[in-house]
Amino acid sequence: MNPTPAAQTAADFKADLERLLGLKTVTYKYNLSKDELFDEAIKNDRGRVRKDGGSNEQKCYPTKLGVKGPLVYYTDPDCTGRRVKDTYAVCWPEVADVMWWKDDVQRYDPEKYQGLLKRVVEHLNQKKASLYVKDVFMGADPEFSIPYRFVGEYATHAMFAHNMFPKDLKGVKDVAARRWTMLNAPSFVCVPERDGCRSECAVIIDIKNKICLVAGRMDYCGVVKKTIFTVGNYLLPLDGRLSMHCSANVGPKGDGAILFGLSGTGKTTLSADPDRRLIGDDETIWSDIGLCNLEDGCYAKLIDLNKEAEPVIAAALSKAGTIIENVPPPKGKRMEECDPQELDLTDKSITENTRFSYPLSANPNVMPNAQGPHPETIVLLTADAFGVLPPVAVLDAEQVMYHFVSGFTAKLAGTEVGVTEPKAAFSACFGAPFMAHKPSVYAKLLGEKMRKHKARCILLNTGWSGGAYGVGKRISIKDTRALLNAALRGDLDAGKVEYEKHPTLNLRMPKSCPGVDAKILNPRNTWSDKAAYDAAATKLRDMFKKNFADKGFAALGIQEVM
């Protein structure tokens, strides 16, 4: 009697995992539904949730909505975000000169890695671990989608993979040969002296064998997402596809746009426009046929969420299948008694990086198959807390490359009492930690695609005007949206508006824009102390120049434009 297709699939994946990793005495829970994973997470996901807590504490809870509402999950207290200093790639000879080695992705000795992988597998075999398996894809286009198999100890992570990635994608070729596998073992404890890592946990990308190893209490959900996106940022540019840390949407006339930006610059908020259809809010591909989301879900920050300004995200808090991460229950209440809308989204007692994961379908205005046309407009977002950059500047080709590899924003220095001096942040390609090639690889592809498809580019400042933080005011969302919409319509294109050049920053600033007070378009006009503005502009320019020199961008073929 021939086995059923489902039984044959199960037999195949078990054989694959034994062959690839050596897993033999474990049991699997394969491709469970979200409802099943919800129950499994509450029942079985155990680990540390308090600094002084044990390693067998409950990590997941329901709200009063039960399985019809969100799953609330608590990470290890040392892993409330990505531990970038514990993120590595195996330094095989074939990738040693290709990878962009940096603090966010460090070299891992191949011999040490093989020993560590073997010990992790032996650990799981010896404890006869129960592992959750979820087969998904990175990328909504079957032409280049990368098969991705999650294998791990936490049902929460399998549920997260289900939320965040396309499932059952038809037409993907050579699935087995092209598949990447993540082995995620939070119960394992690394020994740095033995294993060659920095601490008791490590995330290691093995390009040669298509493996992502998560060893130790690296249980922040974002690791399941960002690790495979780093892989995509390595593989996709090799075929001429530009992988981008950006949001993307499409206007009523079929005009595509992409918005790059670091955290806090407005990338998610500005792309969620009721008059434009969303492609995605975080990870996008620009290929020969247009734009495509790499995800099937959103992983949004929750801290200080304004429910009136972002009603779609607020509504998703109460939806079945949503995962809420590191938000405590209201004081005096058990989570099981709490309605999701009662949660205090200003509560930073666990972390400022509170998050939640929900399906892309929770947004009612998404492009079919999360795909769209080539972009007509490219937006580089920055939130300049120095109050120096203009609200909008129109960039030429060389300036696009320069500002793209600079990836600038400026934010408050931190939470230390009395510290209000803004702090510059530069992150190449607006996502340096996840870029596996040197920045010039992505910049070159961006420039080629912009020229081919005649895309315009603006630098849009969502930060301060009239002075730095503490003196000036944040540029209003009304003005920012008016400037963005004008750029999307082409109102700021050459020939349609007059420009003036910033004498220090060499930026073209429109002299007018519909719906915006012309006075704010030149930031110097908004400062009462003009000399102070000039000094601040010179200081910011010098920060750009220093970052450019320190990163060696000139040697990578990027032209200095300041």
Active-site annotation holder among 149, 179, 245, 374: 245
Q: Is 263 a catalytic residue?
A: yes
Active-site annotation holder among 59, 82, 83, 551: 82
Q: Is 269 a catalytic residue?
A: no
Q: Is 546 a catalytic residue?
A: no
Query: How far is it, in rounded angstroms, from Cα 186 to Cα 183?
Result: 10
Active-site annotation holder among 83, 267, 403, 551: 267
Query: How far is it, in rounded angstroms, from Cα 562 to Cα 551?
Result: 15
Residues of 330-348 as b/e, b for ≥16 C-beta within 10 angstroms? eeeeebeebebeebebebe
Q: Is 145 a catalytic residue?
A: no
Active-site annotation holder among 59, 162, 217, 355: 355
Active-site annotation holder among 9, 199, 263, 318: 263
Q: Is 162 a catalytic residue?
A: no
DSSP H or E run through 72: strand 71-73
Cβ atoms of 429 and 404 within 8 Å: the answer is: yes
Cβ atoms of 130 and 27 within 8 Å: the answer is: yes
Active-site annotation holder among 45, 86, 141, 282: 282
CA 365 to chain centre: 21
Q: Is 347 a catalytic residue?
A: no
Active-site annotation holder among 134, 210, 226, 241: 226
Query: How far is it, in rounded angstroms, from Cα 325 to Cα 301?
Result: 10
Q: Cα dist. 10→14, 28, 137, 167 in Å?
A: 6, 9, 18, 17
Query: How far is it, in rounded angstroms, from Cα 222 to Cα 202?
Result: 14
- DSSP per-residue letters across 103-162: TTBEEE-HHHHHHHHHHHHHHHHHTT-EEEEEEEEESS-TTT-EEEEEEES-HHHHHHHH
Active-site annotation holder among 75, 87, 268, 377: 268
Q: Is 512 a catalytic residue?
A: no
Q: Is 355 a catalytic residue?
A: yes
Amino acid at residue number 361: S
Catalytic amino acids?
82, 226, 245, 263, 267-268, 282, 355
